[in-house]
C-alpha cells in the first residue's frame, strides 16, 4: 500500500471483520441505506456496535455506540454520564443527581434515573462499576426507543445504549466495551428490570 493510501485508509472495517470472527459475531458492510455494524450475540440479546456523527455547527463529531433492545420489566430509565462542564451546569439547574455511596463513582459520574432504589441495585455490582470507571469516555443509558428517525419499539421494549467519542477501531477496547455492555444487561436481569428473552425488534 502506498504512503498516500495509508494516510487515507480506514482500517476499521478490517478490524471489525476480524473481531466478528474472534467474538463469534457478524460484520455487515455499510451501504447507502446504513453504516457498517458489528453484531454479537449475548444470551438472548443482540449487541450492535456501529458509528454515527453529531453535527456541531460546521463540525461533525464522530461517535461510536453500542445498543441492545430488551424487554423492560419495570419501566426503569437511567443515564450515567461522566462529569464535564455541561453536567456541572445541569446540576445547578436542578438535574437529579443520585449518589450511590461509593466516593470514586459518585465523583466521576452524574447518575439520573426515575427509580433511585433500582439504580442503586444496578450499581451495587462491583465488577460493573470497575468496568465503567475503566472507560474514560462512555455514557450508559436506558432509552425508550431510537427516536424520531430510528426504530420504534413495541410496548415494554426499551434499549440499553452506550455511546462514546470517535469511530472506534481499537480491538482491545471494543472487546472491553462488549464485556461491559453484556455485564450491564446481565445486571438488569439480576435486579428484575429486564426479562432474559429476545425482544421482537431488530435495529
Q: Place 140 in a pLDDT band, splitting at 50, 70 and 90.
A: very high
Enclosing H/E stretch for 202: none
Q: Read off the pLDDT of residues 23-48 as tens digits, 9 standing for 90 and up.
A: 999 999 876 566 789 999 999 999 99
Give me the chain's average pLDDT, please. 85
- Identify the pLDDT of residue 155: 78
Yes or no: say if 112 and 78 are a contact pair by the CB < 8 Å rule: yes
What DSSP assignment string belongs to 78-117?
EEEEE--HHHHHHHHTT------S-HHHHHHEEEEES-HH
Q: Read off the pLDDT of residues 78-134 as tens digits, 9 standing for 90 and up.
A: 999 986 544 454 444 444 679 999 999 999 998 999 899 999 999 999 999 999 999
Range in 2-6, 72-76, 125-129 with the lowest mean pLDDT:
2-6
Range in 72-86, 126-140, 145-159, 167-181 with the lowest mean pLDDT:
145-159
The three three-digit cell numbers of residue 2, written as one number: 502506498
Q: Rounded to the nearest 5 degrees, what angle is found at the Cα of 44, between the Cα atoms of 120 and 169?
A: 80
What DSSP assignment string belongs to 11-67?
-HHHHHHHHHHHTT-EEE--BTTB--EEEEEETTEEEEEEEEEEEETTEEEEEEEEE
Annotated domain spans of the chain: 10-195
- Entry pTM: 0.85
Amino acid at each position: 500500500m502506498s504512503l498516500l493510501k495509508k494516510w487515507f485508509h480506514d482500517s476499521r472495517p478490517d478490524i471489525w471483520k476480524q473481531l466478528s470472527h474472534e467474538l463469534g459475531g457478524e460484520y455487515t458492510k455499510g451501504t447507502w441505506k446504513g453504516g457498517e455494524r458489528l453484531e454479537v450475540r449475548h444470551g438472548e440479546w443482540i449487541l450492535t456496535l456501529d458509528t454515527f456523527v453529531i453535527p456541531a455547527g460546521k463540525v461533525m463529531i464522530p461517535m461510536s455506540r453500542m445498543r441492545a433492545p430488551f424487554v423492560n420489566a419495570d419501566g426503569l430509565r437511567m443515564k450515567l454520564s461522566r462529569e464535564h462542564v455541561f453536567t456541572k451546569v445541569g446540576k445547578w439547574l436542578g438535574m437529579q443527581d443520585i449518589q450511590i455511596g461509593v466516593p470514586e463513582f459518585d465523583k466521576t459520574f452524574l447518575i439520573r434515573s426515575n427509580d433511585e432504589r433500582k439504580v442503586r441495585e444496578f450499581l451495587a455490582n462491583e465488577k460493573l462499576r470497575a468496568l465503567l470507571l475503566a472507560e474514560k469516555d462512555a455514557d450508559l443509558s436506558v432509552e425508550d426507543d431510537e427516536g424520531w428517525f430510528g426504530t420504534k419499539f413495541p410496548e415494554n421494549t426499551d434499549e440499553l445504549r452506550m455511546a462514546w467519542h470517535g469511530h472506534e477501531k481499537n480491538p482491545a477496547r471494543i472487546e472491553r466495551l462488549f464485556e461491559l455492555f453484556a455485564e450491564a444487561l446481565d445486571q438488569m436481569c439480576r435486579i428484575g428490570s429486564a426479562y432474559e428473552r429476545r425482544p421482537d425488534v431488530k435495529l
